[in-house]
Chains A and B, each alone.
Chain A
């Protein structure tokens, strides 16, 4: 046995391994040219064998439906294969994509939260879809709801296609309203009606609450407040996103409502961010929730619930949380194939069928005009209000890279008011100053 020969072998293996690693790190240099906005795109026609990898975080019914639809697409023999991969909980989708991009092994399509768009837009590997859409008029981008289009547009670039849209509406437990002899919410409800009802529906002895609020200071805390702020006709930032607009009568009024309900009336169940509010609602201890379609399927069968649009101050504004499919640049052929699949998957007929399987809301206006929409509403009666409520979404979160920091600052302010640690005006002013300094510092 020769030690030298085995040594040579080991060294050879190491060199091979190192070469493999290097090529993995360097990755896909054939697609080095950026997909800059405005540059003319000449995508090859779809095909070429291979597969398009789609990362999503769906489980249960949604995952099964996604697999069925992907299989249906693959059966049309488009010249390539779509591979839908469960990439873990959507809450971690951004971290996973960041890691994959750093390692040069990104999927072709990735499901991402709308709030991540502004930062994703800074990556040269994320494809700007606007020139591609311009060349594909049949895609009819304007058919998508305005809130969705706002959420995927960053500095004129369109960096995603809506994957799912939802919005906040008022979901209430009918039995608790009957017991307290309070009339059900209507579409004309005001903040005063809402606060009075919540107070009457609260019974501290029985640990029963009129309303629930997610109080962990995260985006879940913030977007509920944004709905309130917009209802009072206020806004978070000025028109060109350079200054805070929070410190306004509307901002203080919105914060005051939270203070009055949580601290003065004690009518609000404060959820610590683990989603326990839904269990408490199911146990008949919370009368009203501000929530979206994603919670409806988790409401127990024995809970008689109703859905109504949010109460109004100046308007009945609500907020949408559109999530998107982002396309990653793995070369023109892959982008062309990904785009071909997305066009099919987001076409009105296919998406309505998918929505009927999953309980998602339609993502296009034209879906509501299709004959099959009746069957959809028959299956999901609660969704009628949510679909109508999309018209109340007129504003979107600012799509700027500093938004996560702004959200954190506002989250702290809302939390301090809910816990009675700060007065509304003081909290608004502190948050507004913080936001101004975040904006001044830039990314």
Chain B
């Protein structure tokens, strides 16, 4: 950043004086810069940094948020390592992520390719696929509760007509997590499709043309030209969706509330339960920190692996 004050140099001033004046000007500009950003910084500090630091403190306490905490050192973390329900919630969260992320990405890629064409009413189709992203999670949950109701839902009605016995869905301990996967894939698909569509349209036509002139089939063009060029987008989606699915909460909160029989007790829901149902705020923040660490490690690993496979166009 150049100092605009330099243009005001007065002829005849010694260079030393000029330099010190420039320094002063720079210093005051720096200060002004800090001052201008300070409202935002203060907000970040109060609503971001302070809670983060406070929660570190909290995670070393037994604290019910009501009567002041007692310092217990690493006890919360030790307890966490031996808590079978926490291990269960980690397994569920990993299983959910392992299902949700690949399914979302594969479906989104298919839909994006299907929508990356000149069709009549193409804008209508694109809007339609994006609609669930705009709808609120609560509306989504009400819709799926209604569709998947074990007694009166229309999915079971259709299944019975087809001769398949009625299913429990959200009410069945063995199916609830898969029903959540289906619901969230539906909710997130539009977002992934839009990202892929933008990336597909950013692929230079001349590359596709050149490949076609060289005699490549449509499949080979996709496999060898388009798919590699979508690499950075796929990496972004994998990381973004993974972070979101490890933090899954809203959809659980408005549908199964961790049940039935803990079948959907994912990590963040377990955290919520500890803090606001069982008054274990210290333990809950310890869970939050372990989760944060997990997300950090996964994201770094994804970036490192991605560096090998993802091709960036210069």
Please indicate the chain B residues that have their CB under 8 angstroms from the CB of A94 in the complex. 276
Q: Does B82 contact A (CB under 8 A)?
A: no
Tell me how far the C-beta of B131 lies from the nearest C-beta in chain A, rounded to whole angstroms.
24
Q: Contact at B66–A404, with CB atoms within 8 Å?
A: no
> Which of A7, A102, A408 lies in contact with B31, CB distance below 8 A?
A7
From B65, B259, B278, A217 is in contact (CB under 8 Å) with B259
| B145 lies within 8 A of A274 (CB) | yes
Interface string of A414-437 (1 = CB under 8 A from B): 011001010000000000000000
Nearest Cβ in chain A — how far from B181, in angstroms?
18
Is B299 positioned at the interface, with any CB of A under 8 Å from its CB? no
Evaluate contact between A404 and B279: CB separation under 8 angstroms.
yes
Taking a contact as CB atoms under 8 Å apart, the answer to whether B262 and A10 are in contact is no
Contact mask A1-28 → B, CB, 8 Å, 1/0? 0011011001100100110010000000
Chain A residue, CB-CB nearest to B274 = A405
Indicate whether A401 sits within 8 Å of B152 (C-beta atoms), given known contacts A215-B171, A215-B260, A274-B145.
no
Determine if B64 is an interface residue (Cβ-Cβ < 8 Å): yes
* Nearest CB in chain B: distance from A275 CB, A: 11
Shortest CB-to-CB span from A57 to chain B, Å, is: 16
Contact A14–B42 (Cβ < 8 Å): yes
In the complex, the answer to whether B28 meets A419 with C-beta atoms within 8 Å is no
Residues of B within 8 A of A269 (CB): 151
List residues 24-45 of chain B with CB under 8 A from any CB of chain A: 28-29, 31-32, 35-36, 38-39, 42
Q: Which residues of A contact B42 (CB under 8 A)?
A: 14, 17-18
Cβ < 8 Å to A, chain B residues 252-296: 256-257, 259-262, 273, 276-279
Residues of B within 8 Å of A, CB-based: how many? 35
Q: Enumerate chain B residues within 8 angstroms of A98, measured Cβ to Cβ.
A: 65-66, 276
Residues of A near B173 (CB, < 8 A) are 419, 421
A104 to chain B, nearest CB (A): 13
Contacts A6-B32, A207-B152, A272-B171; A101 near B261 (Cβ below 8 A):
no
Question: What's the nearest-Cβ distance from chain B to residue A89, in Å?
Answer: 13
Complex alpha-carbon distance, A266 and B62, angstroms = 45
Known A-B contacts A3-B29, A272-B171; the reply to A419 vs B64 at CB < 8 A is no
List B contacts of A416 (CB < 8 A): 261
Interface residue count on the A side (C-beta < 8 Å): 42
Q: Which residues of A contact B170 (CB under 8 A)?
A: 272
Q: Is the CB of A67 closer than 8 A to any CB of chain B?
A: no
> A119-B66, A419-B173 in contact; A405/B278 too (CB < 8 A)?
yes
Tell me which of B35, B64, B260 contacts A7 (CB under 8 A): B35
> Does the CB pair A95–B66 fall under 8 Å?
no
CB of B67 within 8 A of chain A? yes
A7 and B66 form a contact (CB under 8 A): no
Q: Are B261 and A119 in contact (CB under 8 A)?
A: no
Expressed in whole angstroms, the Cα–Cα distance for A218 and B259 within the complex equals 10
Q: A3-B29, A7-B31 are in contact. Are A21 and B46 (CB under 8 A)?
A: yes
Query: Are B277 and A11 interface neighbours, CB within 8 A?
Result: no
- Distance of A401 from chain B, by nearest CB (Å): 7
**What A residues does B36 contact at CB under 8 A?**
10
Find the B residue at minimum CB distance from A418: B260
Say which one of A45-53, A120-128, A195-203, A304-312 lies at the interface with B.
A120-128
Task: Report yes or no: B28 in contact with A217, Cβ–Cβ below 8 A.
Answer: no
Report the separation of the CA atoms of residues A1 and B29 in the bound assembly, to the nearest whole angstrom.
Answer: 14
Task: Give chain B residues whose Cβ lies under 8 Å from the Cβ of A120.
Answer: 66
Q: Are B260 and A419 in contact (CB under 8 A)?
A: yes
* The residue from A6, A101, A408 contacting B278, defined by CB atoms under 8 A apart: A408
Closest CB in chain A relative to B15 CB, distance in Å: 24
Tell me the chain B residues, 1-52 only, with Cβ under 8 Å from chain A: 28-29, 31-32, 35-36, 38-39, 42, 46
Complexed CA–CA distance, A405 and B31 (Å):
53
- Asked, given contacts A4-B28, A272-B170, whether A421 binds B276 with beta carbons under 8 Å apart, the answer is no
Q: Say yes or no: A217 contacts B38, CB within 8 Å.
A: no
Cα distance A10–B32 when bound, in Å? Answer: 9
- CB pair B261–A419 under 8 Å, yes or no, is yes
Residues A3 and B277 in contact in the complex (CB < 8 Å), given A272-B171, A273-B257, A443-B64: no
CB of A101 within 8 A of CB of B171, answer no
Q: Are B28 and A3 in contact (CB under 8 A)?
A: yes
CB-CB contacts below 8 Å: A215-233 with B: 215-218
Name the contact of B38 in the complex, choosing from A10, A419, A443 (C-beta under 8 A).
A10
CA distance A238 to B38 in the complex (A): 59
Known contacts A4-B28, A415-B260, A415-B261; decide if A404 and B67 are in contact (CB<8 Å): no
Residue in chain B with minimal CB distance to A9: B35
Residues of B within 8 A of A123 (CB): 66-67
Give chain A residues whose Cβ lies under 8 Å from the Cβ of B261. Answer: 217, 412, 415-416, 419, 421
B35 and chain A: residue at smallest CB distance? A10
Give the docked Cα–Cα distance between A102 and B66 (Å): 8
- Asked if A270 is an interface residue, CB under 8 A from chain B, the answer is yes
- Bound together, the chains give a CA A18 to CA B65 distance in angstroms of 24
B contact residues vs A (CB 8 Å cutoff):
28-29, 31-32, 35-36, 38-39, 42, 46, 62, 64-67, 145, 149-152, 170-173, 256-257, 259-262, 273, 276-279
Please list 19 pairs of residues, one from A and one from B, whose beta carbons are closer than 8 Å in the complex, sorted by A's number. A3-B32, A6-B32, A10-B35, A10-B36, A98-B65, A101-B65, A101-B66, A102-B65, A119-B66, A216-B257, A216-B259, A217-B260, A217-B261, A408-B273, A408-B277, A415-B260, A419-B173, A421-B261, A443-B279
Closest 3 CB pairs of A and B: A123-B66, A10-B35, A122-B67
Give the B-binding residues of A (Cβ under 8 A): 3-4, 6-7, 10-11, 14, 17-18, 21, 94-95, 98, 101-102, 119-120, 122-124, 207, 215-218, 269-270, 272-274, 276, 280, 401, 404-405, 408, 412, 415-416, 419, 421, 443
